[in-house]
């Protein structure tokens, strides 16, 4: 498998863990000192940080367990990613991909979020890990 494909698969595991609300699996994709920041698009079209950054895989695991609402009975979410731009330079990589999140309920499926994932990774002991992850939301996030 190519380095580019391995990097792309990290994002595939990330969105699947998010959909399952599996903080342990999602946190395992990050280094201990990784930073994760959500940004909301302003009316001027630039991005502003929302809240404080998460730090490390443990921070990600904690956030999934404590801040993401559980799915209601019969409900789920479904992330899709597209247009992956991957650059690899030795043991460092950059990934940028568009995303859409769908809310799945017994009565309907509807898009609820979209934006870009902008992510830096590093190969550590043969495995790609996320060291910086920015979630660039298309719609302003309430503060």
Is residue 143 domain-resident?
A: no
Q: How many residues does the chain have?
A: 143
pLDDT at 21 > cutoff 80 = yes
DSSP 105: E
Which structure tokens are listed for 67?
């801040």
Spatial contact of 44 and 68, defined as CB atoms under 8 Å apart: no
* pLDDT tens track for 75-131: 999 999 999 999 999 999 999 999 999 999 999 999 999 999 999 999 999 999 999
pTM assigned to the model: 0.93
**Looking at residue 43, what is its pLDDT?**
81
The helix (H) or strand (E) run that includes residue 3 is helix 3-20
Which phi and psi angles does 95 have, rounded to 5°?
A: -130, 135
Average pLDDT over residues 35-39: 97
The total domain count for the chain is 1
pLDDT at 142 > cutoff 70 = no
61: number of Cβ within 10 Å: 20
Is residue 69 domain-resident?
A: yes
The helix (H) or strand (E) run that includes residue 57 is helix 56-66
Q: By three-state DSSP, how is residue 45 classified?
A: coil
pLDDT-based confidence at residue 45 (cuts at 50, 70, 90): confident
**Looking at residue 112, what is its pLDDT?**
94
Residue 83 burial (C-beta neighbours within 10 Å; 0-12, 13-18, 19+)? exposed
Domain range holding 125? Answer: 3-137
CATH number assigned to the domain comprising residue 98: 3.10.450.50
Is residue 104 domain-resident?
A: yes
């Amino acid at each position: 498998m190519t380095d580019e494909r391995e990097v792309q698969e990290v994002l595939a595991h990330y969105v699947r863990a998010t959909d399952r609300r599996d903080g342990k699996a999602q946190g395992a994709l990050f280094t201990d000192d990784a930073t994760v920041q959500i940004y909301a698009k302003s009316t001027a079209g630039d991005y502003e940080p929302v809240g404080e950054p998460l730090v490390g895989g443990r921070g990600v695991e904690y956030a999934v367990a404590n801040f993401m609402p559980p799915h209601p009975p019969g409900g789920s979410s479904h992330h899709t990613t597209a247009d992956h731009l991957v650059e690899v330079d030795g043991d460092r990589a950059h990934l940028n991909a568009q995303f859409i999140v769908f809310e799945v309920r017994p009565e309907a499926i509807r898009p609820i979020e979209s934006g870009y994932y902008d992510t830096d990774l590093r190969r550590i002991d043969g495995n790609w890990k996320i060291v910086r992850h920015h979630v660039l939301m298309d719609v302003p996030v309430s503060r």
